[in-house]
Amino acid sequence: MSGILIAEDEERISSFIEKGLRAAGYTSHVVTNGGDALDFASSGSFDLLVLDIGLPGLDGFEVLRRLRSSGSTIPVIILTARDSGADTVAALESGANDYMSKPFRFDELLARIRLRAQDAVPADRSVLSHGDLSLDTRTRRATIGSRTVDLSAREFGLAEEFLRHPDQVLSREQLLSRVWGFDFDPGSNVVDVYVRYLRAKFGPEHIETVRGMGYRLR
Ligand code: CA
């Protein structure tokens, strides 16, 4: 593990990020096209990828899709053009951990990098299990006993959060900020909806509702 990979074809932006990261004590490496972004990010040598959507060669979406389908769990923060809400949603759905809209302040990006780099899964803890439930965070496989369960990227993220904190009550706000990772409307019922999806797939007894507080993995 040796730092941050920056995939950005605009030199002005990449050098701005690189200088800021150096000042904050991080090492970084810049690539300027999608093919290199995929190769370097897949190498296992980086803690986190800052990924521009508009890259030559493979665009950022394609890089992200290929990374996730090959089982890579490297945290990814995407950079989108301002006012491209559709891009943002698409990127988060394809497995990005967070996003920044250009133009952005460096300290905002740094805060997100610090947060997301901590989520990186150490190699020896790639399999999380509790009772008969187990998740391999590298291959993105979920199993109950000997049965494999198909989970979407977001369902997997939610299941992972529960397995990292078994028997703990997790509030909707905690789950929103950790799994969805951005300023989601706190009145949103997206957590409840996804808990329902997980119960349907795992069996209802695995996730308990704690009235007025949140949910708990049993
Ligand atoms: Ca670009």
* pLDDT tens-digit map of 84-133: 677 778 888 888 999 898 888 999 999 999 888 866 555 456 788 888 99
Its domain, for residue 51, covers 4-119
CATH number for the domain harbouring residue 138:
1.10.10.10
209 C-alpha to ligand 1 centroid (Å): 44
User: How many domains is the chain partitioned into structurally?
Assistant: 2
| Helical axes 34-42 vs 60-69, angle rounded to 10° | 30
C-alpha distance from residue 18 to each of 27, 31, 109, 169 (Å)? 8, 11, 12, 39
Burial class (CB in 10 A: 0-12, 13-18, 19+), 181: buried
Residues 209, 156 share a domain: yes
Same structural domain, 97 and 199: no
Same domain, 85 and 191: no
Confirm if 112 and 98 have CB atoms less than 8 A apart.
Answer: yes
pLDDT at 193: 94
Instruction: Specify whether 15 is located in the same domain as 63.
Output: yes
Last residue of a domain, one of 119, 150, 171: 119
Are 151 and 210 within one domain? yes
Specify the CATH number for the domain of residue 77. 3.40.50.2300
pLDDT, residue 40, reads 95
CA 23 to centroid of ligand 1, rounded, Å: 24
- d(Cα 20, Cα 5) in Å, to the nearest integer? 13
51 CA to centre of ligand 1 in angstroms: 9
Say yes or no: 169 and 199 in one domain.
yes
Residue 130 pairs in a beta bridge with 133
Could you tell me the distance, in angstroms and rounded to a whole number, from the CA of residue 119 to the centre of ligand 1? Answer: 26
Instruction: State which of 67, 93, 119 marks the end of a domain.
Output: 119
Query: Residue 187 has what pLDDT?
Result: 75
DSSP H helical segments within the chain, as ranges?
Answer: 11-23, 34-42, 60-69, 85-93, 106-117, 153-164, 172-175, 190-202
Ligand 1 centroid–CA 167 distance in Å is 44
DSSP-derived secondary structure letter, 33: S
CB-proximal residues (5 Å) to ion ligand 1? 9, 52, 54
Regions in the chain scoring below 70 on pLDDT = 1-2, 82-84, 118-125, 182-184, 186
Helices then strands (H, E): number in the chain? Answer: 8, 12
The token pair at 199 is 């119960």
In this structure, the answer to whether residues 170 and 72 fall within a common structural domain is no
Separation of 16 CA from ligand 1 center, angstroms?
Answer: 14
Q: Cα(10) to centroid of ligand 1, in Å?
A: 6
Per-residue model confidence (pLDDT) at position 58:
94
How would you classify the pairing of strands 98-101 and 76-80? Answer: parallel
| Residue after which a domain boundary falls, among 91, 119, 147 | 119
CA of 30 to the centre of ligand 1 (A): 13
Please indicate, yes or no, whether residues 111 and 37 belong to a single structural domain of this protein.
Answer: yes
Instruction: Identify whether residues 152 and 93 lie together within a single domain.
Output: no
Among 217, 210, 202, which Cα is nearest to 147's?
202
**Quick one: 94 and 149 in the same domain?**
no
- Specify the pLDDT at position 128: 87
Q: Are residues 100 and 50 in the same domain?
A: yes
Same domain, 53 and 142: no
Query: Cβ contacts of residue 16 below 8 Å, gap of 6+?
Result: 106
